[in-house]
Structure 1
Amino acid sequence: MTGHPYHSMPPLRWAVRRLARAYRLPVAVRARLVLSVTDLAEDELQAGRPVTLHTAQEAGADADSYVLAVTLRCPRATGPLAASGLPLPATKPSPDCATWRFTIPLPPAQPVSSSLPDDVSSRHDPWPDRTPGTDTQAVEEELRAAFAQTDAFGAEHRRLKHELAETNAGVLALYVQLEEGDEQLRRAHALILQELEDALRPAPLIVEGLELAVHYEPADPNAPTGGDLYDWFILPDGTLHITVVDALGHGLGSTRSALNVTHTVRTLALEGHPLQSILARTHEILMPLAPDLMATVLLARLDPATGKLQLANGSHPPALLLRTDGEARYLEVKGRGIGFPLPGSEQVLHAEIRPGDLLILYTDGLTESRRDPIEGEGRLIEAARRYADSPLADIPSSLAADMRTVVLHPDDTLALAIRTTRSGP
């Protein structure tokens, strides 16, 4: 079909349908081709400008097929054809024509006659099978094909939706199982770590004339080990010795460092070394073994019979003493920690704890949760006064909960409380 002009839509539409049938194009493709050609030709025909329809056979990709090229030309178009968004996209659109290509299997179909009517009312009709109902039949055939395709898409959509629902149900069930398994694993993991933590920390002490309580809170609840550690024991003379350590870092490495410090301090204390010399001596012993170790340390010795208190400090936050009348003061002692330059406590501070007084030893995680240690020390005094009349066993945890209402800098936290109960020497 070569270059036949069309002046109205019905002959053009019929020619495209006949062409598609002659080359055995699928009905759905034929319908799209008819719509695409008429969409492009509509403006031209309404403006009285004729269009032409061309066909050509081109070599195919293999010997078993060839390519049919169908071209609509609009030679008098006043602007580029609107070839975008067509039901069947053109493979080679240009300003005045559009081409569609189809792969046709061999043997080739018989081409249609090149003699095409310009109007359905032409007296010389070259289409022997054209009857008044033929156009209607072709349209119905295309509609049936479109409905069948729509029904097929609907059935496929329902099938996929059903499969998706089954898949989602299976994924949800698997997710629930995984969550249950993870929860069991977390509980087992937490139990093991809790047992490990309990094994690292000394057993509770019962000391006549004293009450003791401690609270530890890790920076990461899923990793309860850390560098904040304490040790307490009774010396041969009946004096209570307490060591509070804050080793640099988190996790098992800092726990190992803190344990090295507490074990070395315990050994030196039981050997009878003076309190002021223990920190410097601990540094000397540990540095060859762990040159990267850094830790702040607070040492306290308390005579339960007299209430006499001694403190040595190596870069650690000061102990807080709260009297029964509400008077509070920090027991400051200058010194440098293990792994610091010139380690050791510069002196030993002496104080007396009276019946009912409260002594708080802690690590910096308690007072520096808001990154301001000065503000934290003031808040700690207020919290200690607020809970001073509580059972001693509840005071460390109450202090930690109060002080950590806002945590800007998560850190391991240790709080240890001591209160004398003696009535006299």
Structure 2
Amino acid sequence: MKRILLLMASLAALVPASAQYSFNGELLDRLAEAYRKGDPRAVKAVEEVAAEADSTLLGMEPLTVTAKKQLPPSGDRRDYLSLSPYWWPDPSKPDGLPYIRRDGERNPEVYDCPERENGDRLGTVTRTLAVLYRVTGDERYAEKCAQLLRTWFLDPRLGMNPNMTYAQLIRGRQTIRGTGIIDSRRMAFALNAAQLIDSSPAWSDYDRRELREWARTFLYWMEHSVNGQKELHAANNHGLWYDAIRLMTARAAGLDDRVREIACESVKPRFAKQVAGDGTLPEELVRTLSLHYSTFVLEALSTARNVARAEGVELWEMPEAQRALEYLIPYYESPEKWPWPQIKPFAQRRGAALLYEAGLALDRPEWVETARRIGFHTSKADFEAMLHFELQ
């Protein structure tokens, strides 16, 4: 009976998902339709995530950028602060300073600055609640999502200042860096969650207006700060994620014309330059986690694609995108055969998700079948588990 009532509510709350989110709107449509029709796989996926949300997410304390012990150099607790993850004390120096790089080895000191993990959780939880709302129509999920968004972005005492000036600092080094902007993809994911609860009374005109203004201010900082100008010219995954974050932020700011501009004038030429003739991504092959980072580039492209599709831009149609994915397919099936460095295990579900999305977009049934064969196996009860119910 509860599910029947929620389905009735969802008919009023749910409208077709246009391709404007940081994830594939088509997958959301497929999930919602299958759930309404009683597909046992969809029902199981949604009910498992709803149970987790009801027991944990609805009662969680709002996350905030101010929940830190160490202040950033500005002295303003509302400025985002994080440490670069692969930098460690120099054993040849008495004080260990300046830190030196050990690629792929995460220094546990990064957890001394909680906004990195809190931002990641914010992006996952808000999207999970928002997808649950869109599928079930249950206003509790929209209300909690709205509360989390207001606290992180809009609260006059706790809300994050719209900049990443102090992201991924390195102890003992004072150089202004652009690399920390990549941390903001987590908050940009949360910005996009607001669009999913836009039809809910829990998300007011004031909330909508203020978040749009926050996004516009952040986009201006990204494009005009020294940090942002440095990241704009990054040749590896950082550059592509810079564009993906700009796209998500422009969408949240209501700047649809900028979305098409960034996708066509920056994402396309940037990605084309990164892919070699054999489909490899040379900038990522030098990393100690090269399969991860090669996939990370395609995940940035996927994010950009899903935002830009509403403006008539299909990034999977790029020959370079298909060439890169084709190269990676055998290693998504058998990661142990990857011929380049990969010092940690690779989660195959990431490859399956990319193949499934691209296969549906390009009508490549062989890619879809490969994705199903690999499967999307996860112990997490979140929005991704729901969206990929057909691969489980």
Normalised by the length of structure 1, the TM-score is 0.22
Higher relative contact order (CA 8 A, sep 6+): 2
Normalised by the length of structure 2, the TM-score is 0.24
More helix by share: 2
Task: Report the structure number with the largest CA radius of gyration.
Answer: 1
More strand by share: 1
